[in-house]
Amino acid sequence: MIDFNINPDISKAKSIDSKFYTENQYYNLSLDKIFKKSWQLTCHQSELIDTNVYPFTFLDNSISEPLIITKLNNTINCLSNVCTHRGHIIHDNKCNRKKMRCEYHGRTFELDGSIDKMPGFEGVKDFPSETDDLKKIPILEWNDFIFTSIQPEIKIDSILKDIGLRLKDFPFENITYSPEHSKIYNLDANWALYCENYLEGLHVPFVHKGLNSEIDIKSYKTQILDNGVLQYTDSKNSSAYAHYYWIFPNMMFNFYDWGLSINIVEPISFNKTRIKFLSFPIKSATNISNKINELHEVELEDEKVVLNVQRGVQSKFYKNGRYSANHEKGTHHFHRLICQYIK
C-alpha cells in the first residue's frame, strides 16, 4: 500500500506515488472512497423542457448506478431506476409520463417514486410497503443545474457559493444546454492525471501556443477552496479571459464571455477515462462554433501530454516528483484531497 500522506508544506512536499495511476487496486479504492461519495452533475433544467422522465447512469462504466430524474409540478426528484419487484430497469429513454411503468410485469410508480399498483398481486400480505417504493436519491439544485449523489459525503456547497458571489453578473438564466456544441473524448490515461493537468497553468507556454498568445500568463492566479480550486487569468488586453473552477473530484466549470463549458471527467479503468465537454452558451452569444473549436484544439494538446505522462508514470525509474510552489498549488491541493478521502 502506498503512503497516502502529502506534506502540507508545498515547498517540501512530494507528489502522490505513481502506483496510484497504474494499479487497479488504487483505481478501485478511488471509486469506493471518493467517487461513491461525490456529487455529480446530472443535467440542466433546459434538458427537461420537453420531458419529465430523464433516466441516466451515475458514473457509467465505473459506479454504473441506474437512476432517473422526474419532474412533477416543478418539483425535481431523483429516484432509483430499478423496479422493486424483480430489478428490471424501468425506463431507458427520456419521455413524458403521468406514471412510470415497468415493462417486465407492469408495476407502476408515481413520479415521486411511490408505488401505484401491481398486476397479479391480489392476496399478497403487507403489500404495498415502503420497500416497494423507489429509493429516493439526494439532489442539489443550483442555478438550474441538478446534481446527484448516492452517498453524499464530499461537500460542494461552499464552492458553488463562491461561484455565485464572484460571478454574480454571469447570466445563468440565459444559458441553455447545446448538444451540437458538446463533445465526448476518450483517453487512455488515469482520470487523476487529466485533473492534474487542468489544475496548473505552468504548462501553458510550452503546450498551448495558441492559448498562450491570447492570455496574459503573468496574470494567471490559483486560489485554493474547500474541495475545489479556482484559476483565473486575463486576456492580453487586460479583460477577464476565463474563470476555471474545479470541483473535487472530477467536475470543471469554465466561465467565458460567451457562456459556460463544463468538463466531467469519468473514470473507466485505471488507465481509461471519458471526458464529457458540455456547452452552455449564452443565448445572445455569437461565433460559438469557433469558440468550441478553440477549446477542441486545447483539449487535443492536453490529451497528448497526459498520454505521455501515463506512459511515463509506468516507468520503474519514476515514483513521484516535486511541486512548483508558485504554480502547482492546485495539483498539491488535489493530491492532499485524494489522501484525505482515501485514508
Residue in this structure with the C-alpha cell 449564452, named with its chain if needed? 282
Whether 3 and 143 share a structural domain: no
One-letter identity of residue 187: L
Whether 216 and 330 share a structural domain: yes
Whether 112 and 24 share a structural domain: no
Instruction: For residue range 240-260, list pLDDT tens digits in order.
Output: 779 999 999 999 999 999 999
Whether 237 and 338 share a structural domain: yes
Residue in this structure with the C-alpha cell 423507489, named with its chain if needed? 134
Whether 108 and 255 share a structural domain: no
288, part of any domain: yes
Instruction: For residue range 28-60, list pLDDT tens digits in order.
Output: 999 999 999 999 999 999 999 999 999 999 999
Distance, CA of 90 to CA of 69 (rounded, Å): 12
Distance, CA of 230 to CA of 145 (rounded, Å): 19
Q: How far from each other are the two terminal CA atoms of the chain, in whole angstroms?
A: 11
Whether 134 and 206 share a structural domain: no
- 136: phi > 0 → left, psi -120 to 50 → alpha, else beta; which? beta
11, part of any domain: yes
163, part of any domain: no
Distance, CA of 137 to CA of 30 (rounded, Å): 21
Query: Percentage of residues in the chain with pLDDT exceeding 70?
Result: 99
Inform me whether the pLDDT recorded for 220 exceeds 80: yes
7-11, 209-213, 318-322: least confidently modelled range = 209-213
Residue 45 pLDDT = 95
Residue 241 pLDDT = 74
* CATH code: domain of residue 44: 2.102.10.10
327, part of any domain: yes
Inform me whether the pLDDT recorded for 205 exceeds 80: yes
Residue in this structure with the C-alpha cell 500500500, named with its chain if needed? 1
Inform me whether the pLDDT recorded for 210 exceeds 70: yes
54, part of any domain: yes
Distance, CA of 151 to CA of 33 (rounded, Å): 10
209 φ, ψ to 5°?
-65, -40
Q: Where does a domain end: 151, 183, 206? A: 151
Q: Taking the CA atoms of the chain, what radius of gyration do you get in angstroms?
A: 22
167, part of any domain: no
Residue among 47, 48, 66 at smallest CA distance from 57: 66
One-letter identity of residue 160: L
Whether 113 and 133 share a structural domain: yes
Residue 237 pLDDT = 73
Whether 111 and 245 share a structural domain: no
Q: Where does a domain end: 82, 117, 151? A: 151
Distance, CA of 138 to CA of 146 (rounded, Å): 10
Whether 329 and 200 share a structural domain: yes
- Look up residue 91 and give its DSSP letter: -
Whether 124 and 180 share a structural domain: no
Helix ranges restricted to H, the chain: 19-22, 24-33, 157-166, 191-198, 204-207, 209-214, 288-313, 329-342
Whether 264 and 139 share a structural domain: no
**Cell numbers standing for residue 29:** 479504492
263, part of any domain: yes
Average pLDDT of the segment spanning 88-92: 98
Instruction: For residue range 285-297, list pLDDT tens digits in order.
Output: 999 999 999 999 9
**Residue 234's pLDDT band (cuts 50, 70, 90):** confident
226, part of any domain: yes
Whether 101 and 216 share a structural domain: no
Task: Please state, in angstroms and as integers, the Cα–Cα distance from residue 107 to each residue in 103, 123, 135, following that order.
Answer: 8, 16, 15
Q: How many domains does the chain have?
A: 2
Inform me whether the pLDDT recorded for 238 exceeds 90: no
Mean pLDDT of the chain: 96
**Residue 167's pLDDT band (cuts 50, 70, 90):** very high
* CATH code: domain of residue 213: 3.90.380.10
Average pLDDT of the segment spanning 15-40: 98
The range of the structural domain enclosing residue 112 comes to 40-151
3 state DSSP class of 333: helix
**Cell numbers standing for residue 158:** 461552499
